[in-house]
Structure 1
Amino acid sequence: MEKATIQKRLANAIRKRREALGFSQESFADAIGMHRAYYGPIELGKKNLTIFTLSRVATGLKWDIATLVKHAGV
């Protein structure tokens, strides 16, 4: 699977879960201690996430990394 495809799949899973939890991008970014300007491109699939950032996002979504990856179909 190509890098861009993986990033897009993760981005879509993150966005869907964030919305299901009732967060705006800004409120979610604040909740995980991240600036919205950095977080926005994550949901667009434009950021290559480090394992640390992926963990922060997954924790904010009340998932672990494995669950996030599973929902992304990666």
Structure 2
Amino acid sequence: MAIRRLRHARGLSQDAFADAIEMHRAYFGAIERGSKNMTIDTLMRVAKGLGVSLAQLAKDADL
């Protein structure tokens, strides 16, 4: 998934990134695995944490 690839490119662990965006690590892990759907607010939080726009995140995910 694009989120995992972008997070890895920034050298962040799943735990560190979840902490940075103030999200429970288990919930964020489920998002990365694709087993949880995100609200637009959550998607915006993840994009901001990765330093990308929603449009870039969608483009990277081939949505």
Taking structure 1 as the reference length, the TM-score comes to 0.83
Aligned position for 1:64: 53
Q: Which of structures 1 and 2 has the bigger CA Rg?
A: 1
Equivalent position amino acid for 1:13 in 2: A
Are 1:51 and 2:40 matched, yes or no? yes
- Taking the aligned partners of 2:36 and 2:53, their CA distance within structure 1 comes to 19
Q: 1:32 aligns with which of 17, 21, 37?
A: 21
Equivalent position amino acid for 1:16 in 2: R
Once superposed, which parts of structure 1, at least 4 consecutive aligned residues long, lie more than 4 Å away?
none
Equivalent position amino acid for 1:25 in 2: Q
Aligned length: 63
User: In structure 2, the residue corresponding to 1:46 is in which secondary structure?
Assistant: coil
Overall identity of the aligned pairs, in %: 59
Residue ranges of structure 1 left out of the alignment (5+ in a row): 1-11
Equivalent position amino acid for 2:24 in 1: H
**For the aligned residues, what is the CA RMSD?**
0.5
1:37 is displaced (CA, Å) by: 1.1
Equivalent position amino acid for 1:63 in 2: V
- Taking the aligned partners of 1:39 and 1:73, their CA distance within structure 2 comes to 20
Residue ranges of structure 2 left out of the alignment (5+ in a row): none
